[in-house]
Structure 1
Amino acid sequence: MATTRIGLDRLPTTARAAVEQYTGPLLSVVEATEGFNSEIAARVTSATGAWHIKGLRTDHPRVWTQRREASIAPFLGGVAPALCWHVETAGWDLLGFESQDGHHADFSPGSPDLPEVAALLCRLGETACPGIELRHAEQRLERYAAAPGDLRFFAGDHLLHTDLNNTNVLVNNCASQGDRARLVDWAWATRGAAWLDAGYWVIWLIASGHAPASAEDRAAEIPAWRTAPAEGITAFAAANRSVWGEITTGDPDPWTRRLASAATTWHVYRGGA
């Protein structure tokens, strides 16, 4: 369920002042239109720089997502925008990330962003999983696996993002080739098998117009995917069909139906009924 978005100007004066201790007086505020999980989401500038701010009330049921992002941010150099500050005051939890100039990745067939996303997932695969509390992939998928034995395919010690929505991938037009993309929104960071993020990407690629075979070919650009057992990939496709079926039942928006259709298409391609 999406969270209701409010403007930065509706923050309590104390919270706004706490932010400006880090930024200085704000010169511009551009409210974000993308994303589902933050009450506050805006790009702000001052005389000293630019930041992306996201926030939730401290009594919000998903405020844990803010704290998860704050805890994992120090370990994400090279794959995510840096966290510059974290403020919790006046009933608000606020994160300030370095601002990224660029655009949300285009996952459609033939997009020039596709190699950048593949390079990003390769870098993520080389990023050590920090020793902080994270959920395990086999725990997250336990209710959705077609058989209990399938869960062994999802277990591992690698850092995963798990939410490969194209709006969570920012591509910077000014950065060097092969190092232009960054992943944002790390609330669902997970510990698991190295190839799973490539699998999550497959679903979003199919939802963006790729045939399943084409999507899997893209995933094969990530070394970890090439280590995945075929049976494990099939089990993952089956589990995600169930995941998106449940999401669509509870939140039947056009985008959730699109992802449910993509997950079903992949499952059928992998031999599912």
Structure 2
Amino acid sequence: MSEEPEAADLANRPPQAVGVRAPWAAVPAGLRAAVEERLGAPVVAADTQSGGFSPGVAARLLLADGRRAFVKAVSEAQNPESPGIHRSEARNAAGLPAAVPAPRLLACFDRDGWVVLLFEDVEGRAPVLPWRPAELSRVLAAVGDLAALLTPSPVDVPPVAEKQAEAFRGWRTIAADHAAGRDDLAGLDPWAAQHLGELAELEAGWAAGAAGDTLAHSDLRADNLLVTADGRVVVVDWPWACRAARWYDLLLMLPSVRMQGGPPPQRLFDTHEVAAGADPGAVTAVLAAFTGFLLGHARRPAPPGLPTLRPFQAAQGRAALDWLRTRTGG
């Protein structure tokens, strides 16, 4: 068989959230021993999981007694911000109620510049991409279940305005850099460049629009979801959790769904239960801020240890911008 169809399929494949993971063997021997001590058995096999962007270790562990666990470990040498992100994840995971479909935190510790998290292992797989309608429907239903379960927030986390105060300034940052001669807008979507001032103004109202008392995951994407054989949807990776509007998680997820072969976001958002009664102006302002975050960060150099992040943000940002143009009549 010719190789051309395979190459074409690869070229048309939806963008994947796949980083450059360190293997289990990269963890210093003393830390590996500490993991085994906490788990109560030696590790006999480690299967690296490629999903997600952290440069650290993310692996399913098989123990000598047949049990399994999941380990995440990272050091400042791999990325200076990643240890703090892992610590936030540990705090949030420890506070999640048992009813939340998320892996239970077994242990966490800091040592020698590393942060190590141990979770229960979940037997599941990431959603199939491009998205399949039935599986997407199951995930969207799970988003509604989460919002119901997590309102009011059962975990003490910051409000979204505090959590994203610096991140959601993308359009204003681009506009300021352009005015100062630091950004010539090369590569920016022509419609966005033409309406930069309006987008910056629209973005400025995002915090009031996103306010709420639902515990939001804030990073729902296919790579942070597991589908189990019995049909459950399990949500992993909670470092960005905050208190926000019931529809906040849905809004942030839908551009990635579109980017990875799903339907237009507007239709999914308008028909979802968590969006019922949402103020249209608030939704548009938050979408503008999220779009500016994605496209603004995509213009920056790649962070240390995360070479695949910027192209993924750019693709997700283009999908978000299409939706924003629809909402603003652009």
**How far apart, in 2, do the equivalents of 1:231 and 1:115 lie?**
26
Could you tell me which residue of structure 1 aligns to residue 253 of structure 2?
Answer: 201
Which protein, 1 or 2, shows the higher relative CO under an 8 Å CA cutoff with sep ≥ 6?
Answer: 2
One-letter identity of the residue aligned with 2:169: R
1:51 aligns with 2:69: yes
Q: How does 1:114-193 map to 2 (within 5 A)?
A: 114-125=136-147, 126-127=149-150, 128-137=152-161, 140=164, 142-144=168-170, 146-147=201-202, 148-173=204-229, 175=230, 177=231, 180-193=232-245
User: Residue 40 of structure 1: which of 45, 49, 57 is its match?
Assistant: 57
1:183 to 1:146, Cα distance in 2 relative to 1, 3 A: farther
TM-score by length of 2: 0.73
Aligned pairs for 1:60-71 (under 5 A) are 60-71=80-91
- 5 Å-filtered alignment, 1:1-273, equals 5-23=21-39, 24-46=41-63, 47-57=65-75, 60-76=80-96, 77=98, 78-106=100-128, 108=130, 110-125=132-147, 126-127=149-150, 128-137=152-161, 140=164, 142-144=168-170, 146-147=201-202, 148-173=204-229, 175=230, 177=231, 180-212=232-264, 215-220=265-270, 222-250=272-300, 251=302, 253-271=310-328, 273=330
8 Å CA contact 1:54–1:96 kept in 2: the answer is: yes
Structure 1 stretches lacking a partner, 5+ long: none
Q: TM-score, normalised by structure 1?
A: 0.87
What is the percentage of aligned positions where both structures have the same residue? 27
After TM superposition, give the deviation of residue 143 of structure 1 in Å. 1.9
Specify every segment of 5 or more residues in structure 2 that has no aligned partner in the other structure, as ranges. Answer: 1-17, 171-199, 303-308
Tell me, in whole angstroms, the C-alpha distance in 2 between the residues paired with 1:221 and 1:49. 42
Aligned residues of 1:106 and 1:114 also touching (Cα < 8 A): no
* Residues 173-197 of structure 1: CA deviation (Å, up to 9, x unaligned): 1x3x4xx111111111121111111
The answer to whether the 8 A contact 1:244-1:259 is kept is yes
Q: What amino acid maps onto 1:45 in structure 2?
A: L
Q: How big is the shift at 1:269? A: 1.1
Contact 2:209/2:282 (8 A) holds in 1: yes
Question: Which stretch shows the higher mean deviation, 137-146 or 59-68?
Answer: 137-146
Q: Aligned residue pairs: how many?
A: 266
Secondary structure of 2:103's aligned partner: coil
Alpha carbons of 1:260 and 1:22: their partners in 2 closer, same or farther (altered >3 Å)?
A: same
Q: Provide Cα deviations, 1:245-266, integer angstroms capped at 9, x if missing partner.
A: 1121014844222112101111
Read off the aligned partner of 2:201 and give its amino acid letter.
Answer: A
Runs of 4+ with >4 A deviation: none
Could you tell me how far apart the structure 1 residues matched to 2:61 and 2:38 are?
12
